[in-house]
């Protein structure tokens, strides 16, 4: 047996040294030992049986939303984007956990509650209920709804603070700098600028990044040694080039860290901020809202962790989904906090662009917003999920307009997917089940070995091309999802739908049905002359014509089946309805069945298909729209 080589921690790089200490039991100083044990008895309910890394659930999070005002479409977009990515993992067969919630501490909450004339906790209760209602209405499958006013979260934050202080990462000092009440953060001199306020004409100092006003503040508080993590963070980014998506924001973060990091003020005097978690060792200070808020991802997963069960509830996070305006907090501050606590870092952070209204960013502070509840009432859940994901930006902002939704709905859902489903499943003169039985059976005579040769090799050029596109579609969609571009994935799915409609128009199976009926009825010369002016078919015998009809129907139905499976994370209700219309068994809707020709058992509808507008997948919008 080869001897085990032990590398001294002193010989490791800063990042390797911190990683080497991960998962060690975490305890506070002796004076706090008793309180730490009390916290663990109250908060750690996970089993003591060690959890294998292979069994770790896929852990996805939204940011926690600030409850100082009602949600807007931008919040809904973030929730939906996260849910789609989480559901995709479940579709692939992995146990997936989604965490969302609300950020309920800080100056803005304190001020908003005072303005409303109610206690801050009552104000937060109402705000949290609104976000929970929104999550329910847009069909978000969350496992945890964390609130920073929850007792388990408060205790986790207090524990983390003492760990940071015990390890020497927090110190007390006087702090002077530009502070934004709106952003609840200090900005260095290089990140602020003077502008002329249009409404008043006065000169004010604002954050370059957010445009929010800042004021010079001088106070004594606690600081986190963020500057000490510059090299460690840069090493981490180098070793994990896909940590931030898209790459443009990864480059921006690296540039900011290379330029140097200042230590971070992580508390506020109680005289200025009362609504928050007090510093455990100094009740005259309130913990900085961003340190408090970011720890939600850990406390929701069970922090402080019971040794051996750290991964049971998904930790570390596989994916944080956040808006581009909070990249610094999630991609610089948060990794530094975790490294200081000797905790593993999240695997990826998806930083999406914003929805704008009239080309201006939606913001609660300016009132330039769209109510998600009004949008849902007007268009419905799946329509909004489909539209926001497909048209929303990851790299670039997208502008919101009801006219765009109507236009895209008519083309994509009603005229595209809905039309294809109706044409195939409600068409007359063919039998979908017969077509599936004819072409779905694997055959060794196929050059590819997984579909009957006739479906591709005996088809005309249009059929061979369509076969190739359908066959390649799942891999294309999967690639986009792995790259964290669900918008591109959905666009690829819709191109498959448009291709199938185009192919169906070319093959025109309804014309072949008419031709077959003429032949079977022993047509007269006059009828044959009339038929000669319709789009011709290549087959001459009834059997050949029937095979050609079935081939066109099967390729179209198979497109619908694959599309229906892949659309489940995007529009779960409509995708389920589509698969019911096709007769796809419940146990055959997972990713392993998203293979051309694999399912030979569908083709008989499980639901009433109806006639006319009744029973269609996507009906016409009412005239009120």
Among 174-188, 189-203, 398-412, the range of highest mean pLDDT: 398-412
Please check whether residue 216 is in contact with residue 176, taking contact to mean a CB–CB distance below 8 angstroms.
yes
The pLDDT confidence band at residue 164, using thresholds 50, 70 and 90, is very high
**CATH superfamily of the 56-387 domain:** HUPs (3.40.50.620)
Query: Lowest-pLDDT range, 26-40, 307-321, 349-363?
Result: 26-40
Q: Please name which of 268, 287, 293 lies closest in space to residue 104, comparing C-alpha atoms.
A: 293
- What distances in angstroms separate CA 425 from CA 145, 545, 547, 557, one per listed residue? 41, 19, 18, 8
> In the predicted model, what is the mean pLDDT of residues 166-170?
97
Q: What is the pLDDT of residues 140-151, one digit of tens each?
A: 999 999 999 999
Say whether the peptide bond before residue 202 is cis (omega within 30 degrees of 0).
Answer: no
pLDDT at 214 over 60: yes
Q: Residue 351 pairs with which residues in a beta bridge? A: 322
The pLDDT confidence band at residue 4, using thresholds 50, 70 and 90, is very low
The CA distance from 143 to 313, in Å, is 10
pTM of the complete model: 0.85
Domain boundaries, the chain: 56-387, 401-593
Q: Residue 146 pairs with which residues in a beta bridge? A: 101
Please check whether residue 553 is in contact with residue 577, taking contact to mean a CB–CB distance below 8 angstroms.
no
Please check whether residue 183 is in contact with residue 321, taking contact to mean a CB–CB distance below 8 angstroms.
no
Which is more confident, 449 or 162?
162
Q: What are phi and psi of 312, to 5 degrees?
A: -60, -35
> In the predicted model, what is the mean pLDDT of residues 91-105?
97
* Three-state secondary structure call for residue 162: helix
Tokens of 50: 């060690």
CATH number of 401-593: 1.10.730.10
pLDDT at 30 over 90: no
Residues in Cβ contact with 603 at an 8 Å cutoff, skipping those fewer than 6 apart: 431, 432, 433, 434, 435, 436, 437, 557, 582, 583
Interior CA angle at 316 toward 314 and 320, to 5°? 95
The CA distance from 582 to 301, in Å, is 39
The CA distance from 273 to 419, in Å, is 58
The CA distance from 418 to 577, in Å, is 11
> In the predicted model, what is the mean pLDDT of residues 611-624?
78
Q: Residue 204 pairs with which residues in a beta bridge? A: 195
pLDDT at 595 over 70: yes
The CA distance from 421 to 351, in Å, is 35
Query: Lowest-pLDDT range, 24-28, 366-370, 607-611?
Result: 24-28
The pLDDT confidence band at residue 180, using thresholds 50, 70 and 90, is confident
pLDDT at 564 over 60: yes
Say whether the peptide bond before residue 316 is cis (omega within 30 degrees of 0).
Answer: yes
Q: What is the pLDDT of residues 36-75, one digit of tens each?
A: 333 333 332 333 333 444 589 999 999 999 999 899 999 9
DSSP 251: H
Please check whether residue 303 is in contact with residue 46, taking contact to mean a CB–CB distance below 8 angstroms.
no
Q: What is the pLDDT of residues 503-536, one digit of tens each?
A: 999 998 888 888 888 787 755 444 444 444 444 4
The CA distance from 373 to 384, in Å, is 11
Say whether the peptide bond before residue 246 is cis (omega within 30 degrees of 0).
Answer: yes
Interior CA angle at 216 toward 274 and 124, to 5°? 30
Q: Please name which of 177, 213, 179, 183 lies closest in space to residue 198, comparing C-alpha atoms.
A: 213
Tokens of 587: 């146990």
Beta strands in 266-379 (DSSP E): 267-269, 278-279, 282-287, 319-323, 348-352, 355-357, 360-361
Other residues' Cβ atoms within 10 Å of the Cβ of residue 543? 10
């Amino acid at each position: 047996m080869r001897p085990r080589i032990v590398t001294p921690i002193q010989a490791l790089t800063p990042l390797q040294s911190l990683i080497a200490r991960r998962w060690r039991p975490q305890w506070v100083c002796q004076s706090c030992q008793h309180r730490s044990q009390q916290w663990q008895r109250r908060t750690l309910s996970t089993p003591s049986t060690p959890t294998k890394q292979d069994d770790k659930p896929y852990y996805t999070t939204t940011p926690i939303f600030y409850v100082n005002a009602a949600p807007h479409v931008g919040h809904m977009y973030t929730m939906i984007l996260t849910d789609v990515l989480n559901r995709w993992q479940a579709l692939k067969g992995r146990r997936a956990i989604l965490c969302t919630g609300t950020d309920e501490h800080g100056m803005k909450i304190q001020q908003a509650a005072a303005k409303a004339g109610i206690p801050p906790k009552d104000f937060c209760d109402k705000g949290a209920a609104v976000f929970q209602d929104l999550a329910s209405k847009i069909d978000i499958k969350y496992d945890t709804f964390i609130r920073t006013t929850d007792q388990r979260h408060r205790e986790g934050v207090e524990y983390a603070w003492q760990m940071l202080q015990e390890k020497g990462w927090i110190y007390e000092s006087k702090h002077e700098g530009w502070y934004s009440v709106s952003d609840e953060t200090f900005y260095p001199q290089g990140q602020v600028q003077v502008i002329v306020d249009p409404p008043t004409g006065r000169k004010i100092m604002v954050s370059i990044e957010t445009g929010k006003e800042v004021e010079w503040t001088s106070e004594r508080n606690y600081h986190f040694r963020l500057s000490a993590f510059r090299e460690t963070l840069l090493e981490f980014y180098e070793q994990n080039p896909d940590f931030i998506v898209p790459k443009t924001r990864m480059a921006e973060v690296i540039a900011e860290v290379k330029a140097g990091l200042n230590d971070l003020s992580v508390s506020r005097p109680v005289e200025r901020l009362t609504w928050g978690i007090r510093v455990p060792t100094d009740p005259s200070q309130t913990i900085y809202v961003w340190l408090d808020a970011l720890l939600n991802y850990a406390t929701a997963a069970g922090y402080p962790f019971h040794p051996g069960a750290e991964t049971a509830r998904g930790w570390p996070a596989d994916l944080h989904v956040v808006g581009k305006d909070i990249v610094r907090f999630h991609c610089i501050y948060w990794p530094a906090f975790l490294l200081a606590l000797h905790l593993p870092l999240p695997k990826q952070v998806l930083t999406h662009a914003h929805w704008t209204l009239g080309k201006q960013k939606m913001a609660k502070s300016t009132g330039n917003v769209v109510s998600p509840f009004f949008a849902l009432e007007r268009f419905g859940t799946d329509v909004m999920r489909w539209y926001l994901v497909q048209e929303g930006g990851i790299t670039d902002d997208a502008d919101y307009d009801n006219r765009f939704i109507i236009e895209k709905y008519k083309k994509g859902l009603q005229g595209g997917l809905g039309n294809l489903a109706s044409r195939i499943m409600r068409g007359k003169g063919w039998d979908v089940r017969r077509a599936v039985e004819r072409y779905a059976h694997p055959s060794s005579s196929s050059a590819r070995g997984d579909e009957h040769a006739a479906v591709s090799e005996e088809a005309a050029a249009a059929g061979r091309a369509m076969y190739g596109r359908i066959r390649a579609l799942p891999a294309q969609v999967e690639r986009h999802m792995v790259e964290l571009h669900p918008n591109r994935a959905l666009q690829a799915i819709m191109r498959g739908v448009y291709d199938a409609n185009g192919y169906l128009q070319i093959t025109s199976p309804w014309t072949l049905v008419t031709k077959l009926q003429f032949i079977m009825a022993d047509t007269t010369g006059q009828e044959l002359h009339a038929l000669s002016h319709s789009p011709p078919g290549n087959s001459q015998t009834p059997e050949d014509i029937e095979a050609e009809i079935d081939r066109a129907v099967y390729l179209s139905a198979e497109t619908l089946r694959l599309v229906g499976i892949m659309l489940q994370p995007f529009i779960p209700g409509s995708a389920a309805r589509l698969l019911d219309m096709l007769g796809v068994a419940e146990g055959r809707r997972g990713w392993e069945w998203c293979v051309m020709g694999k399912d030979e058992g569908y083709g008989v509808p499980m639901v009433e298909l109806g006639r006319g507008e009744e029973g269609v997948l996507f009906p016409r919008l009412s005239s009120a729209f």
